[in-house]
Chains A and B, each alone.
Chain A
Amino acid sequence: MECIRLDSSINSGFIDQVARESEQDPYLCYQCGNCTAGCPNNFVYDIPVHRIMRLLQAGQKETILGSHSIWLCATCESCTTRCPNNIDVARIMDVLRHMARREGYVTEKRVKQFNDSFLHSVQKHGRVFELGTVMRFVARTGRFWTDVELGPKVLARGKMATRAHNIQGKEQVSKIINRFLGDERK
């Protein structure tokens, strides 16, 4: 296993920032492993969630924000529900994703692109237009075969609306997102 030299690599500003934004105390983790034991997506993680917590205590910003795990967490809340020290681990994983986004660490481009396509649809229509979201995802990622085989099943049953439901207050929704983006750019 890789050894970490804390004297040269600990980033305490990172630990403080995660603690502040998540309103959680990462130091409460004593590595029981319950979070990893219950994590359904551990099989696709490059770093198991208990080790993310340990790396966080050691201020290993680059390793954590550059991991695939933070993008592959399904926010199923198993870790949060089972933590014996009441750490909201899923909230920490969310905050790590927020930071990775802001600072340009994207290891799972398709996951980010799907989320972006979803929010773009919300911003445009006020409600998510599922078909439009998938089409934008396909256009942006070039993955033209994504779910094409499901098309006939979906269409035959009229299971997917073919037109967006624009709400009257779509401008209000659009402004929520724009105000957020404006704040973020400051």
Chain B
Amino acid sequence: MSSELTYAYYPGCSGLSTSLDYERSTRAVCSALGMTLKDIPDWSCCGSTPAHTVDHVLSAALSARNLALAESMGVQSVLTPCPSCLTNLKVAGHRMEKDDFKKEVNALLDHPCANSLTTKSVLQALVQDVGMDKIAERVRKPLKGIKVAPYYGCLMNRPPEVMDFDDPENPVSMDRILQALGADVLDFPLKVECCGGSFGVARKDVVVHLSGKLLGLARDMGADAVVTACPLCQMNLDLRQSQINAHLKETFNLPVFYYTQLAGVALGLDPDHLLLKKLVVKPWKVLHKIQEPEAAAV
């Protein structure tokens, strides 16, 4: 196993619960593509949105505890699938480049963080470290015949100075992966619009309005499914789709996949490892649309 594809892995709290399907399918796809994910031992929560709305040093310290743990693992990079974790870990690293800030953060920690590692998303590692050719080569069951709307959410590539990957207004990394997997990828104009984020519990009206817009456009463009890279986006669009329908008097019935689940399908991985049955809007009809390789070749 080449050491450059070995990473300290930060799953994020939702990966143990609401986005277990993202978590499992991420591990399955990374393993199939020759990446080694070593879990950060005893990792803790990055604080997500609540922490940085309370204080920036507190938020950075909650992330830095994990970065410090990763520093003892003998790797160059920390990898996370979740855009919210990603932004917290990266912003913490970015701000700790200033000594004063770093000192304040380390004052809250038991073990100081040297801030010596880079953090990237699994998406970034797939595109830059594994590469599109290798992904395309590994496809066993191309996603022929399904039309998908790639939806990145707001945080994956923003702010650009910190995230330093892809385009903040029109990211294409997930589009390229889905194309390499054989899907018909729509040019989805709302790919970085907000879904309402963490307001689902406190202000459902916000999520219903914003996520409803996303589902509406995806449907009107003829998408068979929406594809996400974010646990919160997936939950708002999938689990809350019935609430959106009730509030907006709509009849949306769009499956919302994690891109790693569709990648797993295309790579021919064991469906049980992709946890497709966790999806609230049933994906089976869409998955049956995928043409068999023989039929597609004719």
A: residues with CB less than 8 A from B are 40-41, 43-44, 72, 74-78, 80-81, 88, 90-91, 94-95, 97-98, 101, 108, 110-111, 113-116, 118-119, 122, 126-131, 134, 137, 146-147, 149-150, 153-154, 157-161, 165, 167-170, 172-173, 175-177, 179-180, 183-184
CB distance from B210 to the nearest CB of A (A): 6
Residues of A within 8 A of B158 (CB): 76-78, 80-81
Cross-chain contact B196 with A167 (CB below 8 angstroms): no
CB-defined A-B contacts under 8 Å, sample of 22 = A74-B197, A75-B197, A76-B194, A77-B154, A81-B169, A94-B53, A97-B54, A110-B203, A111-B203, A113-B202, A114-B202, A118-B48, A122-B62, A131-B17, A150-B242, A158-B20, A159-B280, A160-B18, A167-B42, A169-B44, A169-B65, A176-B109
Binding site for A on B (CB under 8 A): 13-14, 16-18, 20, 42-45, 47-58, 61-62, 65, 107-110, 154-155, 158-160, 168-169, 192-194, 196-206, 209-210, 239-240, 242-243, 277-278, 280
Task: State in angstroms the CA–CA spacing of A78 and B51 once bound together.
Answer: 20
Question: How far is it, in angstroms, between the C-alpha of A113 and the C-alpha of B193 when the chains are bound?
Answer: 25
Residues of chain A with a CB closer than 8 A to B200's CB: 147
Which chain A residue has the least Cβ–Cβ distance from B160? A81
From A72, A153, A165, A180, contact of B55 by CB (8 A): A180
In this complex, what residue of A is CB-closest to B57? A180
* Nearest residue, chain B, Cβ from A111: B202
The smallest C-beta distance from A77 to any residue of chain B, in angstroms, reads 4
Bound-state Cα–Cα, A127 to B203, Å: 23
Task: Select the residue from B45, B196, B239 with max chain A CB neighbours within 10 A.
Answer: B45
What 7 A-B pairs are tightest by C-beta distance, nearest first? A76-B154, A115-B50, A77-B158, A76-B194, A40-B194, A161-B17, A110-B202
Report whether over half of chain B's contact residues are helix, strand or loop; otherwise say mixed.
helix
Alpha-carbon separation in the docked complex, A176 to B112 (Å): 12
How far apart are A135's CB and chain B's nearest CB, in angstroms? 11
Contact B65–A172 (Cβ < 8 Å): yes
**Is there an interface contact between A147 and B160, defined as CB atoms closer than 8 Å?**
no
- In the assembled complex, the Cα of A184 lies from the Cα of B53 at a distance in Å of 15
- Whether A94 contacts B56 in the complex (CB less than 8 A), given A77-B159, A158-B278, comes out as yes
Which residues of A lie under 8 Å from residue B278 when comparing CB positions? Answer: 157-159
Tell me which residues across on chain A come within 8 A of B55, comparing CB atoms.
98, 180, 184
Given contact pairs A127-B13, A130-B18, enumerate 5 new A-B contacts (beta carbons under 8 Å): A114-B198, A118-B48, A147-B201, A157-B278, A176-B65
Name the distance in Å between B283's Cβ and chain A's nearest Cβ.
Answer: 12
CA distance A93 to B55 in the complex (A): 12
* Closest A residue, CB atoms, query B104: A183
Contact across chains for B20 and A159 when beta carbons are under 8 A apart: yes
Residue of A nearest to B168 (CB): A81
B201 and A173 within 8 A (CB): no
Residue numbers in A under 8 Å from B204 (CB-CB): 147
A171's nearest neighbour on chain B, judged by CB, is B110
A61 to B50, CA, bound (A): 23
Contact between B154 and A98, CB atoms less than 8 A apart: no
Contact status of A98 and B20, CB under 8 A, knowing A153-B239, A179-B107: no
> Does A137 contact B202, Cβ atoms closer than 8 Å?
yes
Residue among A91, A158, A180 facing the most chain B CB atoms (10 A cut-off)? A180
Residues of B within 8 A of A126 (CB): 42, 44-45
A146 to B240, CA, bound (A): 12
Say whether B44 contacts A114, CB under 8 Å: no
Determine the residue in chain B with the shortest Cβ distance to A77.
Answer: B158
Contact across chains for B203 and A150 when beta carbons are under 8 A apart: no
Name the CB-closest residue of A to B55. Answer: A98
